[in-house]
């Protein structure tokens, strides 16, 4: 049943629908409105969500970042254009929409996405300091802004290579254009990560913003599959948004964007279900604790099932 929003009070002296009109008239919430707007969304009952979206329908379109998520022009939420815009902290400069975008960009979830790029760059810096010709495989590479920023920061004394996998040709085209000047160091494969077969072994297999879309059984399957593509001493690093993501409800209500959020213990359990010894597994997080990183290291003594045979 769809509940009429106008019956819901924002506070003793205001109704939600009037408050939303007020926000729309001034181009979206300003920082002083964030707490109240977020609290309204966090307290919406499931049956009120449709009415809420109707009230803000004039901004739930491609003019805003929340609307881009809602409309899903590429058929799925979190596409390469949206992710790249998060990395660039870009926003619509038209005052009709600007505050909506600034609101989105200032959410902890968006900050956590930017933090995961920093995590990646730090990781790759460490990798090339240990092995100049490291090979990296990226699953669900999207815009590959992370690869671009890392390679742009390098002085040319390494020959690290990146193989990028994405099932969206538009994402591949975008990342290829972006990384044009690193031709030879970056290769592109348009294929579903579930189906890709590699003849190479990698020092790092990285995936951010992909496994949150998979059910546990696909997650487990992919760990098993890609573990066999690691070099001895190679590592797999998989990001997953935490159940503690404070932006969860905003993403769901405003952008119809649902993720399989996981806890640290979920990640340890999944690795264990994939047959990986627990001493090879660790979980790290970026500073906000929203993006968790499951890390699985392959050591020389393991067999291809991931077991160390102890």
Name which of 179, 176, 153 is nearest 166 in CA terms. Answer: 176
CB contact at 8 A, 110 and 90 = no
* Cα angle value 153/208/143 (rounded, 5°): 60
Query: Considering the complex, what minimum distance in angstroms separates the CB of residue 157 from ligand SAM?
Result: 26
Is 69 near ligand SAM (CB under 6 A)?
no
**CB-wise, 95 or 191, nearer to ligand SAM?**
191
By the rule CB under 6 A, 286 interacts with ligand SAM: no
By beta-carbon proximity to ligand SAM, the closer residue of 23 and 110 is 110
146 binds ligand SAM (CB under 6 A): yes
Task: Return the number of the residue (19 or 116) whose C-beta is nearest ligand SAM.
Answer: 116
Under rule CB under 6 A, residue 109 binds ligand SAM: no
Q: Pick the binder of ligand SAM from 83, 127, 237, 274 (CB under 6 A).
A: 83
User: Quick check: 65 binds ligand SAM (CB under 6 A)?
Assistant: no
By CB under 6 A, residue 163 contacts ligand SAM? no
Of the ranges 32-40, 64-72, 165-173, 259-267, which one interacts with ligand SAM (CB under 6 A)? Answer: 165-173
Instruction: List the one residue from 29, 78, 109, 234 that touches ligand SAM (CB under 6 A).
Output: 78
Alpha-carbon 139 to chain mean position:
12
**Residue selected from 193, 204, 237, 250 as contacting ligand SAM according to rule CB under 6 A:** 193
In whole angstroms, how close is the CB of 31 to ligand SAM at the nearest point?
26
Using rule CB under 6 A, residue 27 touches ligand SAM:
no
Q: State the nearest-atom distance from the C-beta of 13 to ligand SAM, in Å.
A: 41
Closest-approach residue to ligand SAM (CB): 142
Indicate the pairing of strand 186-190 with strand 281-285: unpaired
Q: Which two tokens stand for residue 231?
A: 């070099």
The whole-angstrom separation of Cα 241 and Cα 290 is 6
Alpha-carbon gap, residue 283 to 236, rounded angstroms: 11
With CB under 6 A as the rule, give the number of residues binding ligand SAM: 19
8 A C-beta contact, residue 273 and residue 217:
no
Q: Dihedral angle at the C-alpha atoms of 271, 272, 278, 284, nearest 10 degrees?
A: 30
Nearest approach, Cβ of 154 to ligand SAM (angstroms)?
19
For 208-219, the DSSP string reads -SSGGGS-HHHH
**CA–CA gap between residue 235 and residue 206 (Å, rounded):** 8
Q: Does 140 bind ligand SAM (CB under 6 A)?
A: yes
Residue 109 near residue 250 (C-beta atoms within 8 A): yes
Beta strand extents in 98-216 (DSSP E only): 135-139, 161-166, 186-190, 202-207
Kindly identify the residues of this chain, within the stretch 201-240, that bind ligand SAM according to CB under 6 A: 208-210, 213
Name the phi and psi angles at 135, rounded to 5: -115, 130
The piece of 63-71, 92-100, 166-174, 176-184 that touches ligand SAM (CB under 6 A) is 166-174
Please give the residue ranges that form the binding site for ligand SAM (CB under 6 A): 78, 80, 83, 140-142, 146, 165-168, 171, 192-194, 208-210, 213
């Amino acid at each position: 049943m769809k509940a009429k929003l106008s019956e819901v009070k924002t506070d003793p002296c205001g109704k939600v629908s009037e408050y939303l009109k007020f926000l729309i008239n001034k181009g979206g919430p300003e920082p002083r409105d964030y707490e109240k707007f977020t609290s309204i969304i966090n307290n919406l009952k499931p049956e009120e969500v449709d009415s809420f979206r109707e009230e803000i329908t004039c901004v739930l379109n491609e003019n805003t970042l929340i609307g881009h998520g809602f409309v899903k022009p590429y058929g799925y939420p979190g596409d390469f254009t949206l992710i790249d815009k998060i990395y660039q902290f870009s926003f619509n400069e038209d005052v009709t929409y600007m505050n909506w975008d600034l609101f989105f960009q200032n959410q902890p979830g968006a900050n956590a996405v930017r933090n995961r790029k920093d995590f990646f760059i730090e990781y790759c810096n460490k990798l090339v300091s240990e092995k100049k010709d490291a090979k990296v495989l990226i699953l669900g590479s999207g815009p590959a802004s992370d690869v671009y920023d890392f390679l742009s920061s390098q002085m040319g004394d390494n020959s690290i290579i990146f193989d990028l996998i994405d099932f969206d040709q538009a994402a591949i085209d975008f990342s290829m254009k972006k990384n044009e000047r690193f031709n030879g160091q970056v290769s592109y494969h348009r294929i579903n990560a579930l189906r890709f077969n590699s003849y190479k072994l990698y020092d790092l297999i990285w995936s951010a913003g992909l496994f949150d879309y998979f059910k546990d059984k696909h997650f487990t399957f992919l760990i098993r599959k890609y573990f066999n593509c690691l070099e001895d001493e190679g590592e797999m690093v998989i990001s997953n948004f935490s159940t503690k993501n404070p932006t969860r409800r905003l993403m769901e209500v405003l952008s119809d964007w649902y993720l399989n959020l996981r806890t640290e213990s979920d990640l340890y359990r999944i690795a264990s279900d994939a047959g990986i010894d627990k001493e090879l597994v660790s979980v790290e997080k970026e500073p906000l604790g929203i993006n968790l990183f499951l890390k699985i290291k392959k050591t020389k003594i393991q067999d291809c099932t991931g077991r160390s045979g102890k």
